[in-house]
Each structure stands twice: as C-alpha cells, then as structure tokens.
Chain A
Amino acid sequence: MGSKGKGGAVAAGAACVGMPADFRIADVMDMHRQLRDALNLSPVVLDGTTVDRVDTTALQLLVAYQRDAQKRGHQVSWVGVSVPLYDAASQLGLAQTLALPAKPSA
C-alpha cells in the first residue's frame, strides 16, 4: 500500500481507500459510506487502479469527497487510476478537478 503514486509521495501511515472494479450507480452506496468515513482521516490516498467500469455517479462522489476533504484541510492524493477511470473523468471535464495523475499507458 505504501507504493508511490504519480500524485506524489504518500505519507507513511496514510489511509488508503480502494475502489471496486464495477464503480457504478448500483454499487455506489458502499463507496459513499467508505468515503464519508474517510472524511475523518488525513492523509488519505485513493486507489483507482482497479476500476474497470465507471459512471457519472462515481465521479460525482469523488468530487464531493475531495471538495469536503479540502475544506477540512485534509490531504488527499492518488495511488493511481485505471484507464477507464481516467477517460471517464476527462470526458466529463473532471480530470483536473479531481487532480488525477497522468493517464497510465494502457
């Protein structure tokens, strides 16, 4: 878990939030709960490397989480993202907002 993501060095002891392979509306409630729990933690690293399928709900959820975490002055960074996650975020104009690392070579 302590691996380095493109988002920068991960502080030792950071909480890591992983994401499901199918990160879409039908399974979004579970991630909502995990991210609400993560709001109490800092620093947090997000691992989007295993996401295979993603929809707008997933990205909206990440947007809401990151914005709230920033408001609390927490540190959030990425371990990495999968190609589907990256493509979806950039299609929706959210890649910058989410501070995604560079698109991995597929």
Chain B
Amino acid sequence: MAKILAVDDSASMRGMVALTLRTAGYDVSEAENGQLALDSAAASRFDLVLADVNMPVMDGISMVRELRTRPEYKGVPILMLTTESNTDKKMEGKAAGATGWLVKPFDPEQLLATVRRVLG
C-alpha cells in the first residue's frame, strides 16, 4: 500500500484529497503546512507527496526545495496542487524540484487518475 502525504492548509481541500485516496486504498497522512510536512516526511518515508503552493508558515515551494535535499526523497514524486492562474508557480515548483502538478479545481476522479499515473 503506497504511502501518500497530503499537504494543504485548507482543511476542506486536504479532507477531500485524503478521503479520496484512502477510499482508493492508499495510506494517507496529512499536514497543514510545509514545515509540518517536512517533519512527517522525516518520520516516515512517503511514496508520493501532494502539496498546496500557498500555505502559511512554510509554502509548498520551499517545502519541495528542502525535501529534495534529503537523499531519501530523491526521485520521489512530489506534485504541486496549483491553480491555472499560476503558470509561473508551476515552473517555480518545478525548479524547486517538484515532479509535476495537479491543477485546481480537480475532482476525486482526476486526482485518482493522476496519482495512479505517478505511482504506476
């Protein structure tokens, strides 16, 4: 069972992501900002990280940059949950080390399709 970390400061968004993935059988952990996500990622190793871009305390871009400096997170897929208006955010996320992105709004089916695509 693949382990997924869902990072978003919005409880509704995080809840939707977590419930969708749990229902599909994934082992999901949640974090409400980049800093807490880094703590979780140190405590256990995830197969996929889904992260919002704009968050208080530590944003998603800084989180990715930090995560990629850890050897165990080399090559681990990290997807940014971003919005269409933020084309440059996609690129900023990529430059920081993100694997790709999922554009908000997405529905549970789109989320699952993308996660399955990344996790194979």
Question: Which of B71, B75, B76 has a CB less than 8 Å from the CB of A57?
Answer: B75
A residues 45-88 in Cβ contact with B at 8 Å:
55, 57
CA distance A26 to B46 in the complex (A): 12
A residues at B contact (CB < 8 Å): 24-26, 29, 55, 57
CA distance A26 to B75 in the complex (A): 7
What residues on B are CB-neighbors of A55 within 8 Å?
Answer: 75
What residues on A are CB-neighbors of B72 within 8 Å?
Answer: 26
B residues 56-101 in Cβ contact with A at 8 Å:
71-76
CA distance A3 to B40 in the complex (A): 44
Which residue of chain B has the shortest Cβ distance to A55 in the bound complex?
B75
Instruction: In the A-B complex, list the 4 residue pairs whose CB atoms are closest, starting with the nearest.
Output: A25-B75, A25-B74, A26-B72, A26-B74
Q: Which of B72, B73, B74, B76 has the most CB of A within 10 A?
A: B74
CA distance A57 to B75 in the complex (A): 10
Besides A24-B75, A26-B73, 10 new A-B residue pairs in contact (Cβ under 8 A), listed by A number: A25-B74, A25-B75, A26-B71, A26-B72, A26-B74, A26-B75, A26-B76, A29-B71, A55-B75, A57-B75
